[in-house]
Structure 1
Amino acid sequence: MQTAGANFNLREEIKAYWSARAETFDLSPGHEIFSEDERAAWHDLIRKHLGPGNGRKALDLASGTGVISHLMDDLGYHVTGIDWSEAMLERARAKAASRGRIMRFHLGDAENMLEADSAYDVVVTRHLVWTLVDPQACFREWLRVLKPGGKLLIIDGDFVNASFAERLVKRAATFLERYNLVKAGAPHAPSAMAGIHESILSRVYFSRGARADAIARLLERTGFSPVTIDTDLRRIHKAQAANFGFLKAVARGLQHRYAIVAEKRRDP
């Protein structure tokens, strides 16, 4: 069990890590969107679980450079993005300005957002839950800011437990790249930061892997109902494949990646 002080230090390390990643974040496949096919696949996933925007208010948690915020804006949502990295927020604001989008991005903590109760119709987050130190505290906060009947959409994955097939494909990709038998894909993160990433991953709540069923149980315990899991992200993975190289794209498709949609019960 970590002490409160240790948790604070870990959270600061996570903040510093993503701030350092901001400069190259959008260069990584799987972060920014590099094709209209991928954009359409993301739109379909969001519409499937949240429906069209129609001016409804959406909160993008850990919004980073605003990739998901732009998808939500495309679909007609009125978007607010929060992130605790000012470096990420600077890029999100610049991207929105360059594209002529009206979105609000501000500094905030997903565990203590200082947003009003029942302020949003939907809350969405991608690749945040696996980094959480205290997920249930965060889920209580996310439930609080949702309107009754509002929905939370979590897009995440287990980046710890690789299946035998995934490990085999990754080893083959590494071998072929080493001998220039296939072109190396764009790196997902700077190699110099790999040790920092591993250190953080070893100390977060989901250090043994963020499995969808475990997250769903925590959401239900927090008060969300119903909670459903969608593991069919094949269209997104297929659209991303051209930017990863064949074998790395296959490995990504073998990972336990998912979308979870959880609803705040309406008042009786």
Structure 2
Amino acid sequence: MTEHANYSLREEIRDYWSARAETFDLSVGHEIFSEEERAAWHRLILKHLGPGEGKRALDLACGTGVISHLMHDLGFAVTGLDWSEPMLAKARAKAMEKESGIRFLLGDAERTLEEKESYDVIVTRHLVWTLVNPRAAFTEWFSLLKPGGRLLIVDGDFVTETWASRLRKAIESLRAGKAKPGPEIDSELQARHRSILSRVYFSQGVRAEDISRLLTEAGFEAPVIDPRLGAIHRAQARRMAFLKAFERAMQCRYAVCARKPLS
């Protein structure tokens, strides 16, 4: 794949998320809708990154700033970076409303242009599956961390079908057959999503073991895979229809935390 093709795909990904910005915070799993879920996120962050205590944190592909504010809650000095202006507009509006003082920047997570060795921690949520060149991205993130700095990735394999996802689709198909026909919801966005997914590096699904291997190749030491995100997912499930909640519980979702060596 040529560099021009890579650049075009990355811009397509940016435009897709820009189109999603207006309704992004309406979805369970994007915005946080309960204090129970907020507390579960706080515990996950503290478990892997420790208390903020003024440490500099970079939230890559920050979207509307949900994770940025979780990090701010815990005392981190947060910078959020995203390549979508509509997402950043939402994030900045939240920051003004909450008077959080979080800095939000326009930038590409694969080529941030941020100063080297300037952050104590980096966090991402549901970013890695969109990467065109994860090797280059992980090398970039490694360079941004101070020695001893930590990277926390929260992601999942949303591609590989489980028996629960097949069951949900079968039941929904039966229900649709009994219902009056109507226009497909967000059919254009769904088609764009499928097209993007077919061309990114992790088109067959992003697995924790693959992330861990690539992080090690980039220089990180001792990546830790943490699949225990049940508290977050249980809190989210209370806001979802039964079939969707059941499917989510069966998906492979995880956190991966890795450290940059001290020397």
Tell me how far apart the structure 1 counterparts of residues 262 and 133 of structure 2 sit (CA, whole Å). 26
What letter corresponds to residue 254 of structure 1 in structure 2? M
Tell me how far apart the structure 2 counterparts of residues 44 and 165 of structure 1 sit (CA, whole Å). 28
Correspondence for 2:261 among 250, 255, 265: 265
Runs of 4+ in 1 over 4 A off after TM superposition: 173-180
**Identity, % of aligned positions:** 60
- 1:183 corresponding residue in structure 2: none
- 2:152 corresponding residue in structure 1: 153
Q: Is the 8 A contact 1:153 1:261 kept in 2?
A: yes
CA shift, 1:127, in A, is 0.6
Correspondence for 2:189 among 183, 190, 193: 193
Tell me how far apart the structure 1 counterparts of residues 64 and 177 of structure 2 sit (CA, whole Å). 32
Tell me how far apart the structure 2 counterparts of residues 132 and 210 of structure 1 sit (CA, whole Å). 10
Tell me how far apart the structure 2 counterparts of residues 131 and 67 of structure 1 sit (CA, whole Å). 18
Going from structure 1 to structure 2, the CA distance change for 1:88 and 1:132 (only over 3 Å counts) comes to: same
Q: Is the 8 A contact 1:226 1:263 kept in 2?
A: yes
Q: What 5-or-longer segments of structure 2 have no aligned partner?
A: 180-184
Q: Deviations over 1:193-221 (max 9, x none)?
A: 10000000000000011011011100001
Q: TM-score, normalised by structure 1?
A: 0.92
- 1:142 corresponding residue in structure 2: 141
CA shift, 1:176, in A, is 5.2
- 1:250 corresponding residue in structure 2: 246
Q: Does 1:205 align with 2:205?
A: no
- 2:182 corresponding residue in structure 1: none
**Higher mean C-alpha displacement, 160-169 vs 144-153:** 160-169
- 1:4 corresponding residue in structure 2: 3
Going from structure 1 to structure 2, the CA distance change for 1:62 and 1:123 (only over 3 Å counts) comes to: same
CA shift, 1:110, in A, is 1.1
Q: Does 1:226 align with 2:215?
A: no
CA shift, 1:177, in A, is 7.5
CA shift, 1:173, in A, is 5.1
Tell me how far apart the structure 2 counterparts of residues 127 and 243 of structure 1 sit (CA, whole Å). 20
After superposition, the CA RMSD in angstroms is: 1.5
CA shift, 1:87, in A, is 0.8
Find the residue that maps to 2:117 and give its secondary structure: coil
Q: What 5-or-longer segments of structure 1 have no aligned partner?
A: 181-188
Tell me how far apart the structure 1 counterparts of residues 145 and 166 of structure 2 sit (CA, whole Å). 39
Going from structure 1 to structure 2, the CA distance change for 1:131 and 1:62 (only over 3 Å counts) comes to: same
How many residues in Structure 1 have an aligned counterpart in Structure 2? 258
Q: Is the 8 A contact 1:60 1:123 kept in 2?
A: yes
- 1:127 corresponding residue in structure 2: 126
Q: Is the 8 A contact 1:170 1:251 kept in 2?
A: no
Going from structure 1 to structure 2, the CA distance change for 1:52 and 1:177 (only over 3 Å counts) comes to: farther
What letter corresponds to residue 39 of structure 1 in structure 2? R
Going from structure 1 to structure 2, the CA distance change for 1:156 and 1:87 (only over 3 Å counts) comes to: same
Going from structure 1 to structure 2, the CA distance change for 1:174 and 1:238 (only over 3 Å counts) comes to: farther
Q: TM-score, normalised by structure 2?
A: 0.94
Tell me how far apart the structure 1 counterparts of residues 101 and 34 of structure 2 sit (CA, whole Å). 22
